[in-house]
Amino acid sequence: MLATASPAQAAAAQPTASADAKHCVIVAAPLEPGQTISRVLSHVCADTPARAQRLSETANPRLASTLLLVLYENIRYNTDSAGASTQLRGSAGPCDTSGYGFGNLGTWRNRISSFKRFNWCQRVAGYDYINYGGNNGNPIGVWTKDTDWVGSANDRIESILTRRL
């Protein structure tokens, strides 16, 4: 569901958004040792998942990326009711034990109801605020499988860390 805008949000991940651009592709750099926030290299949106992926590829023809997570606006991966979705992709291959950190989900803050994991992104930690804030720095949910309903974290996640176990 829609988030309220926060003036404090970082400018790192500005999408090329329009009203019907419900599906996005975000490509991020991997976490280096000691780093917690992956650099966002690309963030595009379109009206279908396939168009968003094509737009991402044509906008960044030399940027390889690996699918990490797909976020869904509704429960059960949007299968019960249509909704927005976003691919989180990584520029350096599958998740390793350092993984990738999405410190600010931008238009996807306070919106996620379910997600699927790919390419060794076995562990997913969701945080209430951007930059892994809120709840005394602890995630409001940690999941180790595809999750068709994030429960009490519904519409609350604003940043995500994901890695191989």
Contact footprint for Ca ion (CB under 5 A): 110, 128, 156, 158
Locate tokens 């995630």: which residue? 139
**Closer Cβ to Ca ion, 21 or 140, answer by number:** 140
Q: For Ca ion, give the closer residue by CB, 81 or 152.
A: 152
Q: From CA 165, how far away is CA 162, in angstroms rounded?
A: 9
Strand intervals (E) in the chain: 23-28, 40-46, 66-72, 85-90, 100-102, 114-117, 123-127, 141-143, 159-163
What is the Cα gyration radius of the chain? 14
Give least dist CB 59 to Ca ion, A. 29
Least separation, in Å, of the C-beta of 140 and Ca ion? 8
Work out how close the CB of 18 gets to Ca ion at its nearest, in angstroms, rounded to a whole number: 25
State both tokens at 33: 């040792």
Q: Which is nearer to Ca ion, 89 or 156 (CB)?
A: 156
41 versus 75: smaller Cβ distance to Ca ion: 75
φ/ψ bin of 37: left (φ > 0), alpha (ψ from -120 to 50), beta (otherwise): beta
* Closest CB to Ca ion among residues 28, 158: 158
Is 15 in contact with 43 (CB distance < 8 Å)? yes
Query: Whole-number minimum distance, CB 158 to Ca ion, in Å?
Result: 5
* DSSP bridge pairs for 162: 100, 124
Smallest distance from Ca ion to CB 8, Å? 13
